[in-house]
A and B are shown apart, each in its own frame.
Chain A
Amino acid sequence: MDATIDSKAVPSNEERLAKLEGMGCSRKRYEDPRFIQGKGNYVDDIKMPNMLVGVMVRSPYAHARIKSIDTSKALAHPGVYAVLTADDLKPLKLHWMPTLAGDVQAVLADGKVVFQNQEVAFVVAEDRYIAADAAELVEVEYEPLAVLVDPLKAMAPDAPTVRDDIKDKDVGAHGARKHPNHIFTWDIGDKDKTDRAFDNAEVTVKQDMIYQRVHPCPLETCGCVASFDKIRGDLLVYITSQAPHVVRTVVGMLSSIPESKIRIISPDIGGGFGNKVGIYPGYVCAIVAAIVLGRPVKWIESRTENLTTTAFARDYHMTGELAADKDGKIKALRVHVTADHGAFDACADPSKWPAGMFHVVTGSYDIPNAFVSVDGIYTNKCPGGVSYRCSFRVTEAVYLIERMVDVLAQKLGIDKAEIRFRNFLRKDQFPYQTALGLEYDSGDYEPALRKGLAALDYPALRAEQAARRADPDAATLMGIGICTFTEIVGAGPSKMCDILGIGMFDSCEIRVHPDGSAIARMGTISQGQGHQTTYAQIIASVAGIPASLITVEEGDTATAPYGLGTYGSRSTPVAGAAIARASHKIREKARKIAAHLLEVSPDDVEFDLDRFVVKGAPDQAKSIKEVAWAAYNNVPEGMEMGLEAVDYYDPPNFTFPFGTYICVVDVDRYSGETKIRRFYALDDCGTRINPMIIEGQIHGGLTEGFAVAMGQQLTYDDAGNVLGGTLMDYFLPTSMETPHWETDFTVTPSPHHPIGAKGVAESPHVGSIPCFTAAMVDAFAHLGVTHMNMPHNSFRVWQQSHALNLDQR
């Protein structure tokens, strides 16, 4: 082959860029053809020869002693192969399992049940109908116990004790325990300095607020198919998991099977949102049953099981306080939280952070003093507090600070936009050390807010609102909400974040084949984020291989390098960095091979989109395709054959995307009905890889935020019964009530990320929820209302209206 390329034959830069489909273009999703043709491969689609189906027997009581379990009738039912109870798991030491938060959780209830629908027995049968029939035949005798549902009453001396197994332990995984229902007290910041700032402040404000218990509710419930090859000793598990490698490690720990003999596959996943990070009893039981019976066992949750027993989110009872001067400049923040963790502390937080990354609570503001304390509490509710579409309690933190800034503005009579301008971190303050120990990487908040205010003509909106307020006959109240949030994503640096002792790095392995096409394998797993599309775009831009020639594989622990998975918007900030760095390694090796082929020094060869060019001689070039071929037959002396690279990326810091959201709401003062008139969302996620996918993620996050703010709540009655365990009662917005979203952006790259990307998918959820509340409160603010707890459904809004006598004609 001729060493030179006819320069006329080289397509234009535009044509080559288009062919690459690299970063910045709205590449259509590689994933879509299979989904739109019904060829997705979700866990419940897996069918194996001789497969059995398992279903759970669950407790109708929230708190009860189990006097007896009689499985004989169920076992005698034709087609039933096994009925597991805690007693069956005991010899295997599998009746309890470790949680991600350092606690233990009963796999099947051991002596007593501690929340409604807790797993009591596992019935394995030929098909789902027989299993369901047989589950009805398991006879459990319960002795009901007093129920604890209110976390604020949990530390009372006469409160019912949720956890008999640890009631006498005065030290937990996160330090001293003060009460049998107490899990931990976690605090951060300088208490004395903060208290002094409050003592000396010109103005202080204080507000209680409840961030209600909600559920991530992905459309696909959790489930798995476990299969054990007794001859080879191999365990294969298909599972709905956002972190398949971690599942492998946990399964290895529990089963004593070496990890090399365990293969976990997360195939297509029908949404995760944090719900699919944890390990659930159903997984363990299916695996045990598969090993014991020697036949594959499938377990798939029902919707009610998903809503009532797999990881909930939030449930933070918060008190915020701000100290400021008369001009609204904030001097200090003080926060206390009572966190309801349910019956087992199964939060999916990094091991060292019992309250996750709640310490981002100083938000986008230059707050010199801050102190935060969080008390974790056991109650008779479902365990598993997850970071639902946020990283580790950021949603609660942003909600608190955004509410408090509004409360302060209201007290001082300062416009809500203006008070933000007075307190924003300035661009030149980054990297910025917060009073709670974080280092923000980059941000530029003021232009973002200015852009938003201009886009909605904020002065005109305020004028309209003033006119509305001045008219006593106006049937509609008008509220304007502003939220200027800073997110914290990209968990994370292994020095700060780990799961069960494994650092939160992520990984990528790229192999370029002789024909110039490539495969990349990742430690993450997409649940709809379009990883296969965007990851290929990164490789295309960095290594010059057209995205259409790149296969991206995830979710199979047998082939993918170890990674900590996808949650907390960590895929782009962490795995995206790994893929960029691995791509760069490929490019560097390719450059050396190109230099060898061109018979010049590597220093004289530079990378140009998809080829390597001799400096000053643009007609002397080798395409990446030519180099790939040469990598397998003609490499410089001493160089290994092949064109591969692996990168395990441990980020030096988190990334801090931010945004400005503005909501305009109309409220019918007579009925409490609301209409989101406009919702503007400006996001800055640093470098943008695929604008189409980013916009889609933002739409989705906003819609989930709308659901949380305006209608969602997992409600319990005093007996611990879940009120609303189906989609009949639990609010998921349909196309009818979902508002129209307006999106916008600025670009402030992360200085420490190889391609400057920060991650985006959670920002719209984190940022929108306080924005909705702010708009709702603003509708009533002129009447002295400073806060309204979510969800702002019509009944509750009407109650507010009624309390102010506004519903009277």
Chain B
Amino acid sequence: MIKKMMVTFKLNGKSTDVVVEPRELLIHTLREKCLHTGPHIGCDSSHCGACTVDVDGMSVKSCTMLTVQADGSELLTIEGFAQGGELHALQEGFMQEHGLQCGFCTPGMITRAYRLLKENPDPTEAEIRYWMAGNLCRCTGYQNIVKAVQYAARKLRGEPVQTSYPLMETTTH
């Protein structure tokens, strides 16, 4: 048996201890030991970004990091976004702008967009597309994800926000 190690980190503000093999990936620890199943596994090669979490102020694909490397770190996962029953502006944006369908990529998308808006509160569409390129989505075609990030950016800057899909303004049948 491989010798196990104790790892301590802050997970969404809460001090957490886990005992893991040195080879265990952070995504597996988060999902299977911490029961934070928001971050997902979509590939084996760090391409899809579904497992994106924030580690010490950086977006990290948690399938590409060993849990032991997270010792002493501050981790933010999708579970840490809504505060006191209030959705984060990004969560609201994704919902208002229809930035998700199957929802599998969404936690990684939101986590990645969070870091983008921390570093660039007023990104252009091109900047959003560039920053989000490490997160794959198979359902939405990204157009509404871009709009969701723009919505959140406006809201976080204190500007008025409006959904592109008002409930009743339609011209159908």
Instruction: Name the A residues within 8 Å of B172 (CB-CB).
Output: 24, 687-688, 691, 747
**Also in contact, A749 and B141, with CB within 8 A (given A304-B44, A727-B47, A734-B133):** no
Q: List 21 A-B contacts (CB under 8 A).
A: A18-B168, A21-B167, A25-B167, A28-B96, A28-B167, A31-B103, A36-B100, A217-B138, A219-B40, A270-B42, A303-B44, A528-B139, A693-B98, A696-B140, A697-B101, A699-B144, A703-B142, A726-B43, A726-B47, A728-B45, A735-B129
Is B100 touching A303 in the complex (CB atoms < 8 A)?
no
Looking at the assembled complex, report how far the CB atom of B112 sits from the nearest CB atom of chain A, in whole angstroms: 10
List 8 additional contacts besides A18-B168, A34-B103, A36-B100; criterion CB under 8 Å. Answer: A21-B167, A25-B170, A27-B167, A32-B94, A39-B38, A219-B138, A302-B44, A734-B133
Is B101 touching A24 in the complex (CB atoms < 8 A)?
no
Is A38 an interface position by the 8 A CB rule?
Answer: yes
Is A530 touching B101 in the complex (CB atoms < 8 A)?
yes
Is A270 touching B91 in the complex (CB atoms < 8 A)?
no
The 10 closest A-B pairs by CB, nearest first: A38-B38, A35-B103, A528-B102, A270-B104, A703-B141, A699-B141, A38-B78, A528-B101, A727-B47, A692-B165
**Also in contact, A219 and B137, with CB within 8 A (given A38-B38, A38-B77):** yes
Distance, CA A704 to CA B133, complexed state (A): 16
Partner of A732, one of B102, B136, B145: B136
Is B19 an interface position by the 8 A CB rule?
Answer: no
Is A271 an interface position by the 8 A CB rule?
Answer: yes
Of residues A270, A273, A528, A749, which shows the largest number of chain B Cβ atoms within 10 Å of its Cβ? A270
Closest Cβ neighbor of A39 among chain B residues: B38
- Which of A40-48, A660-668, A787-795 faces chain B? A40-48
Partner of B45, one of A44, A702, A726: A726
Is B39 touching A38 in the complex (CB atoms < 8 A)?
yes
Is A700 touching B98 in the complex (CB atoms < 8 A)?
no
Is A32 touching B50 in the complex (CB atoms < 8 A)?
no
Partner of B104, one of A29, A40, A736, A747: A40
Instruction: Name the A residues within 8 Å of B41 (CB-CB).
Output: 44, 300
Is B173 an interface position by the 8 A CB rule?
Answer: yes
Distance, CA A528 to CA B37, complexed state (A): 18
Distance, CA A42 to CA B105, complexed state (A): 12
**Also in contact, A218 and B102, with CB within 8 A (given A28-B95, A128-B28, A735-B129):** yes
Distance, CA A302 to CA B44, complexed state (A): 7
Give the size range of A's interface with the partner.
35 or more
**Also in contact, A692 and B173, with CB within 8 A (given A38-B38, A45-B37, A270-B40):** no
Instruction: Name the B residues within 8 Å of A29 (CB-CB).
Output: 95, 98
Partner of A727, one of B1, B38, B136: B136
Is A527 an interface position by the 8 A CB rule?
Answer: yes
Looking at the assembled complex, report how far the CB atom of A552 sits from the nearest CB atom of chain B, in whole angstroms: 16
Q: What are the interface flags for A695-728 relative to B under an 8 Å C-beta threshold, 1 for contact and 0 otherwise?
A: 1110111111000000000000000000000111
Is A672 an interface position by the 8 A CB rule?
Answer: no
Q: What are the interface flags for B108-148 relative to A under an 8 Å C-beta threshold, 1 for contact and 0 otherwise?
A: 00100000000000000000111011111111111111100
Instruction: Name the B residues within 8 Å of A218 (CB-CB).
Output: 102, 104, 138
Is B95 touching A33 in the complex (CB atoms < 8 A)?
yes
Q: What are the interface flags for B43-81 relative to A under an 8 Å C-beta threshold, 1 for contact and 0 otherwise?
A: 111011010000000000000000000000000011101
Is B32 touching A47 in the complex (CB atoms < 8 A)?
yes
Instruction: Name the A residues within 8 Å of B38 (CB-CB).
Output: 37-40
Residues in chain B within 8 A of chain A (CB atoms): 1, 21, 23-24, 28, 31-32, 35-45, 47-48, 50, 77-79, 81-82, 87, 91, 94-96, 98, 100-107, 110, 128-130, 132-146, 165-170, 172-173
Instruction: Name the B residues within 8 Å of A129 (CB-CB).
Output: 21, 23-24
Instruction: Name the B residues within 8 Å of A33 (CB-CB).
Output: 95
Is A524 an interface position by the 8 A CB rule?
Answer: no
Of residues B100, B130, B145, which shows the largest number of chain A Cβ atoms within 10 Å of its Cβ? B100
Is B132 touching A735 in the complex (CB atoms < 8 A)?
yes
Instruction: Name the A residues within 8 Å of B91 (CB-CB).
Output: 36-37
Is B128 touching A726 in the complex (CB atoms < 8 A)?
no
Partner of B103, one of A528, A687, A695, A728: A528
Q: What are the interface flags for A339-352 relative to B under an 8 Å C-beta threshold, 1 for contact and 0 otherwise?
A: 00000000000000
Is B28 touching A35 in the complex (CB atoms < 8 A)?
no
Instruction: Name the A residues within 8 Å of B103 (CB-CB).
Output: 31-32, 34-36, 40, 268, 270, 528
Looking at the assembled complex, report how far the CB atom of B155 sits from the nearest CB atom of chain A, in whole angstroms: 14
Is B104 touching A219 in the complex (CB atoms < 8 A)?
yes
Looking at the assembled complex, report how far the CB atom of A795 sits from the nearest CB atom of chain B, in whole angstroms: 20
Is A437 an interface position by the 8 A CB rule?
Answer: no
Closest Cβ neighbor of A21 among chain B residues: B167
Looking at the assembled complex, report how far the CB atom of A271 sits from the nearest CB atom of chain B, in whole angstroms: 4
Is A735 touching B145 in the complex (CB atoms < 8 A)?
yes
Is A700 touching B139 in the complex (CB atoms < 8 A)?
yes
Instruction: Name the B residues within 8 Å of A704 (CB-CB).
Output: 138
Partner of B47, one of A23, A36, A699, A728: A728
Closest Cβ neighbor of B92 among chain A residues: A36
Looking at the assembled complex, report how far the CB atom of B173 sits from the nearest CB atom of chain A, in whole angstroms: 5
Is A736 touching B133 in the complex (CB atoms < 8 A)?
yes
Distance, CA A26 to CA B95, complexed state (A): 12
Distance, CA A695 to CA B143, complexed state (A): 10
Is A42 touching B141 in the complex (CB atoms < 8 A)?
no
